[in-house]
Chains A and B, each alone.
Chain A
Amino acid sequence: KAGVTQTPRYLIKTRGQQVTLSCSPISGHRSVSWYQQTPGQGLQFLFEYFSETQRNKGNFPGRFSGRQFSNSRSEMNVSTLELGDSALYLCASSPLTSQETQYFGPGTRLLVL
């Protein structure tokens, strides 16, 4: 089975812009979770989607949003980018709900200038 894929792998944006990141889960997995990884804050949970519905949400401002499509692919969007949004954004998929083991993609590295 192919693993979790994320596109793009690298992205450079400027403050105030918005960005959309994409994640394709492992085939057959229905749950997708997103994490932000920074040197200062470590790995922080953003949100989890299951069957096109957001099931859980971390403590991030409303500028961070996401969605899931009927084929389980997910996108996350960050509007009005700030310098502090520079991070590695990781997507993880699991078979039924994120109660089960998560498998991570390679991440999208976002740099905000």
Chain B
Amino acid sequence: GEDVEQSLFLSVREGDSSVINCTYTDSSSTYLYWYKQEPGAGLQLLTYIFSNMDMKQDQRLTVLLNKKDKHLSLRIADTQTGDSAIYFCAERRTSGTYKYIFGTGTRLKVLA
């Protein structure tokens, strides 16, 4: 199907690691993205990964990509209360009509 799937909610304690998962659908997607959305705001690009990579690290963020299973994850180390937001994964498709497909979003709540 067309859907990019994410779990709806995740709750972690401050200082712990958060892992947000995403399952995408198009094996030909060349770029996969993670965006963060805070209340009342637009989407902030956090990081992206090319499909020929299996891992990318950027400060507290680690992206893992399993192309065989079409699974993408975002790990946030030392999660802070300011990380509380909705996180969206997105795939950029190249097959058929070009378009971005966004996941349903995962609401991360960080408990102090």
Known: A99-B92, A104-B42. A45 touches B104 (CB 8 A): no
State the total of A-B contacts with C-beta under 8 angstroms: 45
Q: Does A74 contact B (CB under 8 A)?
A: no
Q: B-facing mask of A87-113, CB < 8 A → 1, else 0?
A: 000101000001101111111010000
Give the interface residue-count category, chain B.
Answer: 20 to 34
Partner of B102, one of A4, A43, A105: A43
Q: Does A42 contact B (CB under 8 A)?
A: yes
The B contact surface, by secondary structure, is strand
Stretch with Cβ within 8 A of A (4 or more), from B20-28, B63-71, B72-80, B93-101: B93-101
Judging by beta carbons under 8 Å apart, are B100 and A42 in contact? no
- Residues on A with C-beta less than 8 A from B43 are 43, 90, 92, 104
Residues 86 to 111 of chain B near chain A (Cβ within 8 Å)? 88, 92, 97-105
Known: A43-B88, A101-B48. A106 touches B42 (CB 8 A): yes
Which residues of A are interface residues toward B (Cβ below 8 A)?
4, 6, 33, 35, 42-43, 45, 56, 58, 90, 92, 98-99, 101-107, 109
13 CB < 8 A contacts A-B: A35-B102, A42-B102, A45-B100, A45-B101, A56-B98, A56-B99, A101-B48, A102-B100, A104-B45, A105-B42, A106-B41, A106-B42, A107-B41
8 further A-B pairs in the complex, CB-CB below 8 A; given A42-B103, A42-B105, A98-B100: A43-B105, A45-B99, A56-B99, A90-B42, A90-B43, A102-B100, A103-B45, A107-B42
